[in-house]
């Protein structure tokens, strides 16, 4: 019975990773309708509301201390910056490149930042993995076929910034050792929406009548599937299966983003993007000592 329950949960984890990959496709489509600040408002406003009954049903407390709120606020600033550059990079570039480039760069950049901060000592094995990861990134971009100006296009820089700010978010969030990860994420969304409303959004300028069924479909997908469902399953998975086993599922995200971009956006994928993605994921596996479960 336990095996059957675990197999069902593995299936849910698979769907969650597909949901995370789908977010790149949805953002590409939403970029035709709204800007990055509107997207933050719609996506995380809806997500925060839908997370309330989930948190209540799991009997987590919404209580938050001043220290915990300070960590949430710092994390929200990084999260906000990530969402901005994630949106702009995908809007100007391609969902497949963003899904492959950013999702594989994040764990590598996190490792590098921790090493620079003195929190991690780099072994020879890990140094080799970093070299492999760098080679993978170069392969994804296919720089041997491009000029310097083509490599330094705006959306590539946005993707690098997105990876940097998510890595920073990861490091800041690790300081939270008392608040439930699900509740922490809920406050992350709420704080991001509040910052958005205070400094970037003019609600009177949003014309809801111009938003068609395609818009609402992808807002629903990115809010309910890619965020509420996927994040909830992921955090439950950590509690049920352990962080080590759950982390192996994240390797599905870049490939789901690439596959869905081909399917729904008709994007063209070079073989080098696939090869580079595999190389960077192998580097991530070595750096984080990830062991694939059965």
- The pLDDT > 90 percentage for the chain reads 54
DSSP 105-151: HHHHHHHHHHHHTTSSPPPHHHHHHHHHHHHHHHHHHTGGGS-HHHH
Residues 6+ apart with CB under 8 A from 6: 241
The residue length of the chain stands at: 294
Q: Residues 208-250: pLDDT tens digits?
A: 888 999 999 999 999 999 999 998 888 887 777 766 667 678 7
CB within 8 Å of 65: residues ≥ 6 apart: 178
Q: Decide if 48 contacts 161 (C-beta within 8 A).
A: no
Report residue 274 as tokens: 């696939």
Q: What pLDDT does 3 receive?
A: 56
| H-run or E-run covering 254 | helix 252-265
Whole-model pTM: value is 0.90
Provide the 10 A C-beta neighbour count for residue 237.
Answer: 20
Q: What is the pLDDT of residues 3-53, one digit of tens each?
A: 556 678 888 888 999 999 999 999 999 999 999 999 999 999 999 999 999
**What average pLDDT is seen over the chain?**
88
pLDDT given at position 226: 93
**Mean pLDDT throughout 96-115?**
89
């Amino acid at each position: 019975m336990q095996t059957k329950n675990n197999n069902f949960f593995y299936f849910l984890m698979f769907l969650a990773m597909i949901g995370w990959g789908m977010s790149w496709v949805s953002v590409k489509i939403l970029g035709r309708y709204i800007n990055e600040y509107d997207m933050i408002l719609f996506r995380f406003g809806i997500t925060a509301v839908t997370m309330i009954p989930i948190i209540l049903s799991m009997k987590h407390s919404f209580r938050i201390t001043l220290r915990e709120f300070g960590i949430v606020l710092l994390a929200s600033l990084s999260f906000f910056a990530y969402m901005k550059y994630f949106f702009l990079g995908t809007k100007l570039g391609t969902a497949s490149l963003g899904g492959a480039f950013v999702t594989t760069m994040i764990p590598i950049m996190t490792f590098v930042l921790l090493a620079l901060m003195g929190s991690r000592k780099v072994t020879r094995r890990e140094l080799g993995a970093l070299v492999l990861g760098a080679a993978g990134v170069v392969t994804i971009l296919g720089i041997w076929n491009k000029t310097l100006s083509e490599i330094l296009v705006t959306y590539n820089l946005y993707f690098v910034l997105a990876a940097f700010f998510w890595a920073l978010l990861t490091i800041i969030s690790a300081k939270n050792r008392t608040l439930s990860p699900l509740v922490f994420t809920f406050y992350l969304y709420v704080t991001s929406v509040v910052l958005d409303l205070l400094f970037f959004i003019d609600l009177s300028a949003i014309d809801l009548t111009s938003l068609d069924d395609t818009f609402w479909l992808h807002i629903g997908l990115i809010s309910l599937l890619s965020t509420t469902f996927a994040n909830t399953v992921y955090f439950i998975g950590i509690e049920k299966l352990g962080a080590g086993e759950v982390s192996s599922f994240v390797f599905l995200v870049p490939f789901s983003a690439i596959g869905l971009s081909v399917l729904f956006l008709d994007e063209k994928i070079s073989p080098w993007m696939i090869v580079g993605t595999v190389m960077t994921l192998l580097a991530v596996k070595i750096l984080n000592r990830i062991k694939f479960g059965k």
